[in-house]
Structures are given as structure tokens and as C-alpha cells.
Amino acid sequence: MRVGCGPSNTPGAIPRKFSPPSASSPEMSKKYEIYSGRRVVSVQYSVTPLQAAVDYARSFGSADDEIRRIGVDCVSWRGARFTAVLIAEPEPA
């Protein structure tokens, strides 16, 4: 049995699985509050504010093409606007 990078049509070859680093790992993600108007509707861990807002909108089961990116921290979904704001981490004493 052969394992490797060869063509996938090679008889007996097992395709190699690739798993990219998880964006949800604590080292890479930050904590964002998601606002709808002036109300905090969720707290999301993400790499960027835009991704946090997209993740929140996707949590309703919506398709990616229903979500409009408005800015670097804001999305619109079915008329609702969601904005992500970084939560300030307390400084260690």
C-alpha cells in the first residue's frame, strides 16, 4: 500500500489528508462582540472582525451568497446589519 503525494488514480494509493491550522485555536483568535444596532447579540472568537460577523450570520444557516460584506467589520444579512467589535483584553497585573 502506497501513501504519498502521487496521482490519486494510482491503484492502491491512499490520499493524504491535509488539515490546515485551526482558526479557532486560542493563539490565533480574538474575542469579538457582535452588535445589531446598539445591542450586543453574540460573542464570537475569530481571526478578524469581518470573519466574526460572517460566522455569526452563518450561524442562522444562511448561505454565503446571502451575506453581504459591507466593510472590514460589518456584514448585512436579510436587511439586518451586524458589526464586530474587538473586546479589550485586561492587562495582566
Give the integer Cα–Cα distance in Å for 46 and 49. Answer: 7
Alpha-carbon dihedral sign for residues 38, 42, 47, 53: negative
Q: ∠ at Cα 23 (75, 83), nearest 5°?
A: 20
**pLDDT in 10s for each residue of the chain, 93 residues:** 444 444 555 566 666 665 555 555 556 789 999 999 999 999 999 999 999 999 999 999 989 999 999 999 999 999 999 999 999 877 776
Tell me the whole-structure pTM to 2 decimals.
Answer: 0.67
